[in-house]
Structure 1
């Protein structure tokens, strides 16, 4: 059955790949991105040419933009069956090198952006007693690699919202699940991100830290070259979740060739313990 699927952050990378693949599978896709008549005019036009794709301007860091776009979608299609919260920003640097304003920027896009979409779409989903929310988390929402801690924190928050939200929303027929990608060579890394802006801090940390930072980047780059993770794998995972029956979807889906299965093993080992711990408080 054709579903109406809203995807955020579709100008490139995971979002573009998901919009394209899901539309070609026969679903109606609403592909949202910022600045569709400006810097993102090319991907907006390319996606608009596809059958079953409607492109809308939406900035997840702007509450009015989200409200306007979602209202337009509901007016046109009368419902949204699935939302994929994909829009996000990346960045690197020492934690001490980040200002509070920069840290807030990560949260404003990667977390609050998701919550803005929640606030506009959940009322219609609750009324329909049906819906699926797929949040794009990260391996960095389960472990915390150095030199990107604000990004990690935003993804840990997505993990919390998705996991806790599952129990809150499933009684209303709404499932919240997430995909946990590992590192990928997507455009998010090449676009302007939010890097630590206190350059003097890095100097004060000295040569030892500089060597560690450089080595970390070299090792990650080598792993990316070795395993060649493909953004299309995320699109495959999203489509698979969409097509599963309600009640059979896992809360976490890992997509990380570099991890060689350790990410899935980590989730498998920790989930039973988490359920037992939750039961101590809430059963």
Structure 2
């Protein structure tokens, strides 16, 4: 299998870090980007552990001026890009009415419009590849609405629809678009997530409800058993597959939730979801 030129966003931890190290160890040329270079230590340790190296560059997906130098460097060094992995993102918790509009917009800017900026800037390079791939990290939250995550849901639902439409548009160039939709995995997603500014507002009518949801989420995070290395392996498999699927649901919990969401009447599904979230 020919080795690829790969650009990955959000490589300070989790799926991005593991994917960058794994792909580099497999012989691919990896440009691993981080918004904050002071957080590169874990990536450096992971690549050293695997006896490999990646090219670490600063990149803020919400800023075209930050993206351009990375694209320019890849253009200068290789003249093409084979794989773009859009992984950067974060979660925002809180009832919709407690969310400031600025918070909601910031969530969309990173998780959705950041992906658009990356793809728009990279498409000229991707078209120079003989079989380019765009891999977008979505979530089961892009397929099923979850209370307390309306902004995150909106960003991932938007990513799902956009990616599907884009896959049709880019097929003529031989560029595939793939969505990876993980469930719960042992990553820093909880630590990197944010709560609404008004989450603990004593005047919020959602205060007790939101606190129960948060406590339930923390309990489920503590016992989640999904290995994030599996997602890195899935990304590698997509890269090595000539014609990858449009969607890959990853994790037992994600597959169960998707099945129930598609088969149960909405009322029954809502009751099931609330029981799960109240544990």
Say if 1:95 and 1:196, in contact at 8 Å, map to a contact too: no
* 2:272 alignment partner in structure 1: none
Say if 1:177 and 1:250, in contact at 8 Å, map to a contact too: yes
* 1:105 alignment partner in structure 2: 106
RMSD between aligned residues? 2.4
Q: Give the SS at the match of 1:204.
A: coil
Q: Gapped runs of 5+ residues in structure 1?
A: 269-283
* 1:232 alignment partner in structure 2: 229
Spell out the pairing of 1:105-254 with structure 2 (5 A cutoff): 105-128=106-129, 130-191=131-192, 193-199=193-199, 203-205=203-205, 209-246=206-243, 249-254=244-249
Moved over 6 A (4+): 264-268
Separation (CA, whole Å) in 1 of partners of 2:202 and 2:185: 26
TM-score using structure 2 length = 0.84
* 1:43 alignment partner in structure 2: 42
Say if 2:21 and 2:53, in contact at 8 Å, map to a contact too: no
Separation (CA, whole Å) in 1 of partners of 2:102 and 2:200: 17
Give the CA deviation at 1:104: 1.0
Give the CA deviation at 1:198: 2.5
* 1:272 alignment partner in structure 2: none
Separation (CA, whole Å) in 1 of partners of 2:90 and 2:66: 18
Say if 1:102 and 1:194, in contact at 8 Å, map to a contact too: no
- What is the aligned residue count? 261
Q: How has the CA–CA distance of structure 1 residues 52 and 81 changed in structure 2, closer, same or farther, with 3 Å as cutoff?
A: farther
Give the CA deviation at 1:41: 3.8
Q: Which moved more, 1:105-114 or 1:196-205?
A: 196-205
The C-alpha deviation readout for 1:222-271, integer Å capped at 9, x for no partner, is: 4445551121111111111111112xx11110112224545368689xxx
Give the CA deviation at 1:46: 3.3
Q: How has the CA–CA distance of structure 1 residues 156 and 240 changed in structure 2, closer, same or farther, with 3 Å as cutoff?
A: same
Spell out the pairing of 1:249-260 with structure 2 (5 A cutoff): 249-259=244-254
* 2:96 alignment partner in structure 1: 95
Give the CA deviation at 1:29: 1.1
Q: Which moved more, 1:196-205 or 1:120-129?
A: 196-205
